Structure 1
Amino acid sequence: MIDLYYWPTPNGHKVTLLLEELGLPYQIKPVNIGAGDQFKPEFLAISPNNKMPALVDHQPADGGAPQSVFESGEILLYLAEKTGRFLPADSRGRVAVLEWLFWQMAGLGPMSGQMGHFNVYAPEQIPYAIERYNNEVRRLHGVMDKRLADSAYLGGAEYSIADMASYPWIGAYDKLPVDFAAFPHLKRWHEAIAARPATQRAYALRQQVNPDAGKPLSDAERKHLFGQR
């Protein structure tokens, strides 16, 4: 059994996308980041950077004590290696998938998050920041579109953890729709992943875990999310 410490954010969705594809038994341990659950000592013991998702695998491949894992990219890699799925075994295929996984972790996720912050959550509009991150995310969408013009998926011909890492960050904010007309290959890819039954099961967890998703943040929630040092 796997304990998944989760809240329905793009980084949380990455892991449920993979778990639903794998069919591994898991149970969700909600981490209400608006309420500050990420700062509780028991959570920090497995995720010292006070970020979700994190997981505890009670049946690790080595048969030893439960294994805790934090950082969404490493969780995807850990589960792919544990099961031998969604990560190619050949060295060149593996390199391609990991290139795009790390690209998402270093670029698409952080830049999309900053775009969302300054457009949706910031208490005041800062035109320079808005333009900076809007432009960078659009550039990254263009990078994806160019790759997907020549490849069915980011890592190659097969769906992989690279796609699961990037998918939740495309159109993550309702107020910031993606210009799919400018990126037709990205649109094709996004629609194909959205149609997968595992994707639909993963996203159905959003309302189950956080029925208040999409509501304006309270001052206390803002403090927990953006006011920590």
Structure 2
Amino acid sequence: MKNIRIWLIPAGPNPWKVVFVLEELGIPYEITSIRFDDVKKKPYTDVNPNGRVPSIYDPNTDITLWESGAIIQYLIEQYDTNHKLTYTTLKEKHQLNQWLQFQMSGQGPYFGVSAWFNVLHPEKVPSAIERYNDQLKRVLGVLDGWLESRQWLVGDKMTYADMAFVPWNDRIDSVILCKPEDKFAGFPNVQAWHQRMISRPAWKRCMEVREPLMKEQGLNQETGRPSKYKTYQEYEEAVARGEDTGS
């Protein structure tokens, strides 16, 4: 099998959902790590006209795909032939898709906007911070309630639906600026569920791959921006001036 090529920005959470699946299924891959400055420029926009990561190219099928949810569903359909991370029964198959859609439409956007107003926005807007922190906790509440009597979102094993939530949940402390030990405060079922997944060798390999890519671009492990900029506004101004924002 030829390597699947994945384009990513190492700081972003969404690419690591895909890498987690690749690692768990043992699919060979190679990473093209791009800088935030270049994600909306050619040649990358020839791959993904939306200028977001991740994207993949699979030379085994000659398919280029972007949007992490679509990529995950493709990898599962094409390569999870033993159904390690999925189910084929009607009910479970659609319930998996349901939870993946909730991650894409609920967790990802709300956690992302919360990160923007807590960390990246140049001025503090208390009403926005409160609004999106509450939404982040609402999503956690949905998950925590569902996991009250079960270990996994669907069925009796970890699936791609569970895995899709890991990268954003892993960085809640850097989103809402709390202590790492407090990021799941009030949500013990989510904490236990998350711990089951990040303890897996596949997730640990993901983080081992990520660390040198972050260092290579001089990125702060917590904020994701180049370490030499104290604020995201400074970074954006440097990008607008056309400066080299590398380390």
Shared fold (TM-score, shorter chain, > 0.5): yes
> Which residue does the alignment assign to 2:160?
161
2-structure distance, mates of 1:221, 1:93: 45
| Cα distance in 2 for residues equivalent to 1:218 and 1:137 | 22
Distance 1:92 1:116, change over 3 A: same
Distance 1:44 1:222, change over 3 A: same
Residue correspondences, number:
219
What SS does the aligned partner of 1:181 have? Answer: coil
Match runs of 1:84-99 below 5 Å: 84=80, 85=83, 86-99=85-98
Per the TM alignment, residue 162 of structure 1 is displaced from its structure 2 partner at its CA by 1.0
Contact 1:97/1:155 (8 A) holds in 2: yes
Go from structure 1 to structure 2 and tell me whether the alpha carbon gap of 1:141 and 1:100 turns closer, same or farther (over 3 Å shift): same
Give, as a single letter, the amino acid of the residue that structure 2 aligns with 1:29.
T
Match of 2:23 among 20, 30, 44: 20
Q: For residue 41 of structure 1, give the secondary structure of its aligned residue in structure 2.
A: coil
Distance (whole Å) between structure 1 residues aligned to residue 238 and residue 14 of structure 2? 17
Structure number with higher relative contact order (C-alpha < 8 Å, ≥ 6 residues apart): 1
- 1:134 aligns with 133
Counterpart of 2:243 in structure 1 is none
The farther-off stretch of 123-132 and 176-185 is 176-185
Give the Å deviation of 1:92.
Answer: 0.8
Partner residue of 1:213 out of 197, 219, 234: 219
Q: Deviations over 1:2-34 (max 9, x none)?
A: 00101222101101111110111110001211x
Query: Displacement, 1:221?
Result: 3.9
CA contact under 8 A between 2:122 and 2:231: conserved in structure 1?
no
SS at match of 2:185: helix
1:3 is matched with 5
Distance 1:82 1:127 in 2: 46
Q: Secondary structure at the match of 1:29?
A: strand
Residue 219 of structure 1 and its aligned partner are, at CA, apart by: 5.0
Match of 1:199 among 199, 203, 206: 203
2:64 corresponds in structure 1 to 68
Q: Which runs of 5+ in 2 are unaligned?
A: 221-226, 241-247
CA contact (8 A) 2:107 2:136 kept: yes
- Contact 2:122 2:233 survives alignment (8 Å): no
Whole-angstrom CA distance in 2 between matches of 1:114 and 1:134: 9
Root mean square deviation of aligned Cα = 2.0
Taking a change above 3 Å as real, the CA distance of residues 135 and 2 of structure 1, as seen in their structure-2 partners, is same
In 1, the alpha carbon distance for the partners of 2:168 and 2:67 equals 16
Instruction: Return the TM-score normalized by structure 2.
Output: 0.83
Q: Which ranges in structure 1 are unaligned for 5 or more consecutive residues?
A: 61-65
CA–CA separation in structure 1 for the residues paired with 2:68 and 2:191: 24
- TM (normalized to structure 1)? 0.89
